[in-house]
Each structure stands twice: as C-alpha cells, then as structure tokens.
Structure 1
Amino acid sequence: MQRLTGSLLCTITIVLISGCSLFAADVDITAYGAVGNGTTLNTGAIQKAIDACYKSGGGKVAVPSGVFLTGTIALNDNITLQLKKGAVLLGSTDINDYRNLDPFVEGLGISVGWALVVAVDKKNISIEGEGIIDGQGAKLKAQQILTDTRAESQRWGRRPFLLRVVRCHNVSVKGVTLNYSAAWTSHYFQCKEVNIQKVKIVSRGVAHNDGMDIDGCQDVIIKNCDVVSGDDALCFKTTSSKMACRNIVISGLRLKSGQGAIKIGTESMAPFENIRISKCYIYDTTNGGIKLLSVDGANIRNIEIGEITMVEVKTPILIRLGARLSVFRKDQDTQQPIGTIENVTIKNIKAKAADTAQLMPPSGILITGIPGHNIKGLTLKNIELNLAGGGTEENARQVVPEAIDKYPEVKTFGPLVPAYGVWARHVEGLKLDNIKFTLGHNDLRPAFICEDGKNIELNSCIIPETTGAKAVIRLENVAGAHISNTVVAGSADAFVRIEGNASSRVQLLKNKIPRIQKKVELSADLKAGTAILD
C-alpha cells in the first residue's frame, strides 16, 4: 500500500477529530416558522428546526427572545437547545398538545410520562442559556378539569412534566430557568453522564411539583442550583430495578420545598450507591429536610450527606427501611425482596426546626427499620438541632406504628414520636457523635430513644436543660450500648432508663450529669448487671 503523504494524513486527522461537526448547522427556530408572540402554537415549527439540525449532523437550535407557545418537542442526538436571553418556551394549556414517549407508573400508582421537552434514547444533548421554560401548570390544570371529571388524585398524572430525559448519555442542562410545571419539573431516567449546573427552578401552584427527579441515573453532577418546589425539591428515585442511582455528586444547592428538600426514595427498586451531597441550604420546607427511604427493595449504601444548613424545616431527618414493595413498570419488572440501608453518614448539620410539624409536639430525627430488617451502620455526626419542645410525660410513652407496607412519610408514624431529639427503632451499629440539642420549651420526653437496637454508640452529645422528665435516654431491648462524654444540663429521674428483657451490655463512661442522681434505672424484668457504670 502506498504510504500516505503528510498533507493527506493531516486532512484525515482533522476529519477524525472534527467528526460530524463538519456537517453541523446551527439553526434558529424562527427560520422554520416559529412566532414568538405568546399565542401562536409553535410545536411543529420547533420540531422541524430540531429535526433539520439533527439531519445536518447536530448543533444548536436557538430560541431567540420572545414567547414561543408549544406542546411536546423531542430532542435528538447531538442537539443543544439554546435559550437566548429573553426567550420563553411556553407550555400550551391544552393537554392534547402533549405526547408520552415513555409511559410509566409513579409511586402513588398513577400513570405518568407526558412532557413538554423530552429526549428518549439519545446521546449528547444539552439545554443551555439564560432563557425560561414555563409550563403554565396552574392554567393547564384549570383547562384540564373543565373536561376531565376524574378525581384529582387520578387526573394529575395526565398533566405533562416540564422536562423528561430518558435513557440518554451525556446530558447537560446549564443556566436555564424551569418554571411552573404541570407535574414533575424535571425527570432524568436511566441516564449516564449528567451535568446540571446553575439551573433555577420555581415550580409551585399544582400538586406533584417535584423540582429535580434523578431516577436510576449514574455519573451525575449537580452544582449551584436554586430550587423552589411545591413537592420534593431534589429527589432520587429508582422506578425500575434494572439500573441503580450510582456515583452522584451534589453541592451548592438552595432548596425550598412543600414536601422534602433532599429525598432518596420513595420509589426505590434498584440500589442508591456512592452518593455525596454537600454545602446545601434548605429553608421553609414543610415535610422533611433529609429523607432516606427504601421501601421497594432498594439497597441504600455508601451515602454521605454533610455541610447542610436548615432553617424553618419540619422534621429535619427521616430514615426509613420498609416493605411496600411496589412495582412501577409492571410489564417490564418484578417485585423485589426487602432492601437494606447501610453505611450512611450524615454530618455537619445545623437545623432550626419549625415550631409546628407533621407530628406534634415536633421531633428532630426519626429512624426506623422493620422487625427482622435493621438499618445498619448509620452515623450521625456534628449535628445541631434547635427544636420547639413541649412534650408531655404521656407523649414520652407514645407507641409508634410499624406501618411496614405503608407509604413512607413522616405522618405515617403519627400522631407523634416519644423522643424529642432522636427516635430510633430496628437499628444496628447506630453512632451518634457530637449531637447538640436546644429547646424552645421544656420537654418531658427523652432526648434519645432506641427500641430494638444492637451496638449503639452515643458520644459527646449535649443535652439542654429540662426538668421533670423520667429519663434523658431510654433504651428498650437494646443489646450493646456505649454512652460516653455526654453532658446533660438539666435534671431528670434518671440519665438512662433500660427496659426490655433483650437489653444487655449497656456501658456508661465519663458522662457529666451533675443534676441527675440516678445514672441508670432498670425496668423490673432486668437484672442489676445489665449496665456497666464508669
């Protein structure tokens, strides 16, 4: 074979490096007939621009300044939807202008999947710029209910998400604003290599206004976003058992939510692994700051959440391992066995809890597995909780329902829990290190209760001044506990009360409890050797 000349080799190299970009052609949607007057329906024109750009090899589809009314538009490979400053993609209020390219059933059993901007089985897609995508959610709902007579709990699923990205590779969403979805705002399903940065979401006014739903995605980065949502703000899901949420890094988010700010679950069939969340600010959130929920078979493991500030948040932390065991794509999936929660660390948290909460009087942290399935290896470290207090002696003996197969929500465990600080049940290897509580009012409930636990550690905690409580800490059927270096400012009948004939090996070391006369109180069914004192 004749040797290639230098100039020919150079030409081939340039072509190989450039790839399809040599044939790419950026387009403007107005060149295909789109009109930005806010009333002309531009679905067909925008889709023609996207299709033409794709056929030419890919590139940017520009949306210029103006208000462009549209129904469903579908992105394709190598397409960047560029929203210029002043550009608005405005969702139609006619529900028939939307398509469902990937139907599925969400956690409440409702068929969903319609969307305004959608990409399914694509690669190298981007949405960027200073413009806005607005779903007109409240107006669309008002139009829908004129003809859809079903109950709201059923008909909401027919309303479109604002953005759906399904089984796509190399996804970038940067700089844009996503406003007022008619359902979930953005849903990323089984995608790989996702980069979301400086996105602003304001989505309130109708039910189910989730902000970001990361569903079975891998290699995800989310940074410096601002989310105000009527429902969960940042929510990880696995609505399929076939692909885990894995290798995810989140930082620098501001989150305000009508439900949970940071949530893993509820839809939870496949694992959630190797997730790091840090440097987030959560405020005015009405149903949980941090919520980890495996109820459909997921293994939640190797999770680290830290450097989080919460202000006016109802119930700062909920961790739940349950057995609802739902299936969301019944034609593609099968029911999973009960999952696990293990090797989770939540640290460096400062939370001012709201004075009113789902459970009254309020509590700070709720942790519960189910009988025979413990939450394992959970560490809570360097946490400050400012709580309302107000619990009574009767509240301290409240029995909390197991609710094994129920939807996992804070209210599921109502009407209240018997500890004001941390209540934990069905746990193994729980570590509480440097936890500080402050109270607005006296509370007669224990600061910490553990029911059915193994190998519990509580170290260097600071308990505020209270008077009249029966115990500061109560252990019920706990086999192995080490309580050390904890400071109690107030008075109580006992520092630690131990109950249940399964309790054993409770060790107390170097605790400072100057106003408490009795270090340990044992229930009648326990022997004196249960506790080892310093």
Structure 2
Amino acid sequence: MKKVVTGIVFLICITWAQAAPPIVIEITRYGAVGDGKTLNTAAVQKAIDECHQQGGGKVVFPAGNWLSGTIILKDQVTLQFNKDARLLGSTDINDYQNLDPFTDGLGIDVGWALLVAVDAKNIGIEGEGAIDGQGSKLKEQQIATDTRPESQRWGRRPFLLRIVRCENVTVKGITLNYAAAWTSHYFQSKKINIENVKIVSHGVAHNDGIDIDGCQEVRIKNCDVISGDDALCFKTTASTMACSNIVVSGMRLKSNQGAIKMGTESMAPFENITITDCYIYDTNNGGIKLLTVDGAHLRNVQISDITMVNVRTPMLLRLGSRLSVFRKGKDTQQPTGTLENVVIKNVKAQAAAQAQLMPPSGILITGVPGHYITNVTLENIEISLAGGGTIENARQQVPEALDKYPEVKTFGPLVPAYGVWARHVKGLKLVNITLHLDSNDRRPAFVCEDGQNIELANWKIPETTDVPAIVRLENVEKAHIHNINVKGTADALVKAEGNSKGIQVKKNKTPNIKYMLRQ
C-alpha cells in the first residue's frame, strides 16, 4: 500500500510540474522605473537572469518608458512588451557592451547593441510595445566627445537588436524604432521566426532594417520596414556558416538604400532562399540587389511576385572580386565566388525618373573577366522607365570595378542599355520582358558584352525612333532571339559586334526595322 501511495504522489507531482504555468516576471519587481529617465539596465538584467535560473518563462515590460543600456537575453526567456511599453536605449554610448566584435563591409569595427543574445536557445521578443534606440539623440551626445570623422565614429554606436549564434528565436509583433546603427542583426543563428514586425528606423547613417548574417532555417513574414539603409539584407560576415534555407513573404519595404539585398558582406554562401509577395516603394538605391564580392557562392535563389513603385534602378546582380575579410584573425581571404541558378519572375517595377545612373536603366547584371554569372532567368518582368538616352550614351564604356564596393553607382555614370545591361554572363534567359518609356531612348533595350548562351524571348519593346539597334551583342557566343515585338523604328533588331557568333534571330514582329541581324 505504501508503494502505491508513493507512486500516486509521484504521479501527482509530475502532473503538477507539467501543468505549472511558466514563470512570469515583471521588470518592476527588481526596481525598474518607467519614467524614461531612470537607467534600468541592472533591474531588467536581474529579471532576465532570475527567469532564466528558474527554467525560463516571460519577462514583462508593462506600459511605460524603460531606459536602459545593454541587456543580455538568456536561454528559455521571452521578453514580452505590453501595449504602450517602450524600451528606450540610453543616449550615453558608455552604457553599451560589444559581446561579439566584427568589421562591417566598410571596414568599420561594430557590434555594440541595446538588446543582445549570444549562444542562447529558445528565446523570444514579442508583444504590442516598442524598442526605441533614440539614435539621433545618442549621436548628438556622442559627437560632443568623439572627434573622429563620422565615417569612423558611427561604428561605436549600438545596434538595436543582436542575435548571435542562437537557436529557436521568435521575434513577433514588436515595433523597432530609430536605431543608432543597424536595427536588427541575426548572426549565425538557426530556426528564426520573424513575423509581423514593424520597423521605422532612420535619422542616422547605417539604419539597416533586418540583417540576416549567416543564418539558417529562417522564416520572415508580413513585416513592414521603413529604413534609412538597406531594408532586408542578407550578409555573411564570416566564411563558416551560410545563409541558407530561408523563406520570406509578405514584406512591405521602403529604404534610402536597397530594399532586398544580398552580399554587401559575402564570405559564406547564400543558397536555397525564396522571397515572394513583396511591395517595395520610394527606395533610393536598388529594389533587388544580389551581390557576391568576397568569395561567396550565391545560388538557388528564387524571387517572385514583387511590385516596385518609385524605385531607383530596380535590379542589380553583381559577381565581383573585392575579397574582404570581416573578422580579423578568425578568417582568411577567399578566391572569387560564383553567382548561379537564380530565378526572378513576376516583377512589375516603376523606376524613378531620377536615379543613381542617368539616364536611368532597369537591370544591371555583371560579373568580372574570367568569372561569369551563370544560369540566371528573368521571367515576366515589366519595367517603366523615364527614357532620355542618346546615341553617345549607347556607346558608354562601363568600368569593371573588380575590387570595388558593390553598388549601382560603382558602374556610373550610366550604362549603354535602358532595359537590361549584361556583361560576363553565361546561360542568361530573359523571357516575357515588357518595357515602357516616358520619352525616346536611343540606347538599345538590351546590351550584352562577353556572353554565352543568351536567350531573349517574348519581349515587348516600346516605340522609339532613330535607334541604331534594339539589341546589341558584343563578343557573344550563341544567342537565340525570338518573338520580339518592336513598335518603333530602328536600323537593326540585333547588332552583333566583336567576336560574336551563333546568333539566331527568328519569329520577331518588327515592321519598322530594316535588318533583323547586322554583323
């Protein structure tokens, strides 16, 4: 009988333990004051540490303005921000820690943060409240004592959120505002879910929205980002872990730089990434930018169902040879990488009339000599452009810029095609491309320099006049150009120059063009 009773008591204890609610700790328990003036770093950290030590649960920020320096999130802890709760970043730069220093793509030492987790598991940040870095106020106080040029001093300013080598991370519902540098940075972490997050972060330089840096098994859904720098950016600042198995959907993006970007820092691969159903607007430096310049392999990327409104230069694809190292002493320089097996489809873009390159162009695709961008497909692409290109513009020589920072302006002052300009490419397939012009443009709709196995199919070309060629191929081997519908006049549909050969031109609708192919 004693054994039976003991067993029953044991089972009851087990059942009670399983049913016990998770630990919930309000930060006020440890003396936090929500007046926006009291520094609460120690009080908030005590609440997180206690929750962690008791096995995990929630640390709650009630309504109020909670001022703090660096807070370290621990295993099994979720931070819950109730309605009208705001975590405010201290404006004293000395209140911040850097738990994982590194160098960014501009060569600046960075890594300080307001809210940081390192080597943690099962963590979360959620709720209806907000985290506000007070970036502009912090900068004002910083420059009173830091006399270095702004290009050097900005790196000392803290990110808003940093997740470093963590697993099972949820960031949901929260609003992230006005970081002093990058807004959110996820580094070499796995199983990340970012959902219904709103970011409004601008006012100081380098206000990236969401930076995914060498992370895997990532889901990003239904976020609204207004950023001073890149809105959604994939990086690999170390060579040891790829950005891979990532799904993004339902994003609304506005940026003073790029909206969707991969590869400003690019040492490890970007692979198996899918991005769908995004709205990009009022963006100043590229709608979609896929870059690998530090040795990374960028491959198996699919982007679809994208709308762009008032975007400067809708697309840039760049394989380059800058070959920087961002974690000194921990990484070594790599050889030039690859950019291959990319599909971008179902894109409708209204390009801004004023762009980085003038007159504007829609899409730039370029490798470097000896390193080709390979097997890229663009399908169902519609772009509206200002036009204005001249005969002289049509012969513009574009710098190779082998080791330069990868940006649209790197290839300025302009490129010789208004629609798509491609160089050092193999297996480029451009299908169902529709172009619109607000004014005459005497540049070709498409120019390819140093290409192999190029296909253009089902293009709709707007009316232009006094144009030497609709398509120009320079040193291109094997090109198939068919079902091109041209409204305007031109001397030639295709002008093949240099050592171009194997050019097929068939089934095109060109009633006002003299020659189908001139060589």
Scaled by the length of structure 1, what TM-score is found? 0.95
What SS does the aligned partner of 1:496 have?
A: strand
The residue aligned with 2:294 is 296
**Do residues 521 (structure 1) and 497 (structure 2) align?**
no
4+ runs of 1 displaced by more than 6 Å? 2-6
The residue aligned with 1:529 is none
CA distance in 2, matches of 1:3, 1:327: 66
Letter in 2 for 1:177: T
Offset of residue 4 of structure 1 = 12
Offset of residue 337 of structure 1 = 1.2
CA distance in 2, matches of 1:273, 1:419: 30
Distance change (3 Å), C-alpha of 1:4 and 1:287: farther
Query: Is the contact between residue 449 and residue 474 of structure 1 (CA under 8 Å) also seen in structure 2?
Result: yes
What SS does the aligned partner of 2:410 have?
A: helix
Offset of residue 330 of structure 1 = 1.3
The residue aligned with 1:532 is none
CA distance in 2, matches of 1:3, 1:343: 66
Query: How many aligned positions are there?
Result: 517
Out of 356, 359, 362, the residue aligned to residue 361 of structure 1 is: 359
Query: Is the contact between residue 23 and residue 56 of structure 1 (CA under 8 Å) also seen in structure 2?
Result: no
**Do residues 483 (structure 1) and 489 (structure 2) align?**
no
User: Identity percentage over the alignment?
Assistant: 70
Letter in 2 for 1:460: N
Letter in 1 for 2:335: P
CA distance in 2, matches of 1:308, 1:354: 16
The residue aligned with 2:113 is 115
Distance change (3 Å), C-alpha of 1:34 and 1:480: same
CA distance in 2, matches of 1:253, 1:181: 20
The residue aligned with 2:505 is 508
Query: Is the contact between residue 33 and residue 45 of structure 1 (CA under 8 Å) also seen in structure 2?
Result: yes
The residue aligned with 2:265 is 267
Letter in 1 for 2:347: I
CA distance in 2, matches of 1:370, 1:37: 56
Offset of residue 317 of structure 1 = 0.1
Out of 413, 419, 422, the residue aligned to residue 421 of structure 1 is: 419
Matches within 5 A, 1:375-524: 375-501=373-499, 503-522=500-519
The residue aligned with 2:132 is 134
Query: Is the contact between residue 95 and residue 159 of structure 1 (CA under 8 Å) also seen in structure 2?
Result: yes
Offset of residue 148 of structure 1 = 0.0
Offset of residue 10 of structure 1 = 4.9
Distance change (3 Å), C-alpha of 1:55 and 1:494: same
**Where in structure 1 are there 5+ consecutive unaligned residues?**
523-534
Residues 328-360 of structure 1 deviation map (CA, whole Å, 9 limit, x = unaligned): 001111111110011000000000000000000
CA distance in 1, matches of 2:306, 2:290: 15
CA distance in 1, matches of 2:46, 2:97: 16
**Where in structure 2 are there 5+ consecutive unaligned residues?**
none
The residue aligned with 1:221 is 219
The residue aligned with 2:249 is 251
Offset of residue 26 of structure 1 = 1.0
Out of 199, 212, 218, the residue aligned to residue 197 of structure 2 is: 199
Offset of residue 12 of structure 1 = 8.1
The residue aligned with 1:40 is 38
Offset of residue 383 of structure 1 = 0.4
The residue aligned with 2:27 is 29
CA distance in 1, matches of 2:301, 2:189: 20
Residues 298-329 of structure 1 deviation map (CA, whole Å, 9 limit, x = unaligned): 10000000000000000000000000000000
CA distance in 2, matches of 1:327, 1:15: 53
What SS does the aligned partner of 1:399 have?
A: coil
Letter in 2 for 1:436: T
Residues 390-427 of structure 1 deviation map (CA, whole Å, 9 limit, x = unaligned): 00000000000000000010000000000000000000
Offset of residue 25 of structure 1 = 2.0
CA distance in 2, matches of 1:258, 1:91: 23
CA distance in 2, matches of 1:498, 1:4: 92
**Do residues 336 (structure 1) and 334 (structure 2) align?**
yes
What SS does the aligned partner of 1:430 have?
A: strand
Letter in 1 for 2:509: K
Distance change (3 Å), C-alpha of 1:64 and 1:455: same
Residues 423-459 of structure 1 deviation map (CA, whole Å, 9 limit, x = unaligned): 0000000000000000001000000000000000000
Residues 88-141 of structure 1 deviation map (CA, whole Å, 9 limit, x = unaligned): 000110000101011000100000000000000000000000001000001100
CA distance in 2, matches of 1:376, 1:7: 68
Offset of residue 56 of structure 1 = 1.0
Residues 458-485 of structure 1 deviation map (CA, whole Å, 9 limit, x = unaligned): 0001000000111000000000000011
What SS does the aligned partner of 2:94 have?
A: helix
Out of 176, 180, 183, the residue aligned to residue 181 of structure 2 is: 183
Residues 52-87 of structure 1 deviation map (CA, whole Å, 9 limit, x = unaligned): 111111110000000011111000000000000000
Distance change (3 Å), C-alpha of 1:31 and 1:470: same
Letter in 2 for 1:396: A
Letter in 1 for 2:150: E
CA distance in 2, matches of 1:328, 1:39: 37
Query: Is the contact between residue 24 and residue 53 of structure 1 (CA under 8 Å) also seen in structure 2?
Result: no
What SS does the aligned partner of 1:360 have?
A: coil
Distance change (3 Å), C-alpha of 1:7 and 1:507: farther
Query: Is the contact between residue 197 and residue 225 of structure 1 (CA under 8 Å) also seen in structure 2?
Result: yes
Offset of residue 14 of structure 1 = 4.6
CA distance in 1, matches of 2:334, 2:269: 11
What SS does the aligned partner of 1:441 have?
A: coil
Letter in 1 for 2:262: I
Residues 120-169 of structure 1 deviation map (CA, whole Å, 9 limit, x = unaligned): 00000000000010000011000000000000000000000000000000
CA RMSD of aligned residues (A): 1.5
Scaled by the length of structure 2, what TM-score is found? 0.98
What SS does the aligned partner of 1:460 have?
A: strand
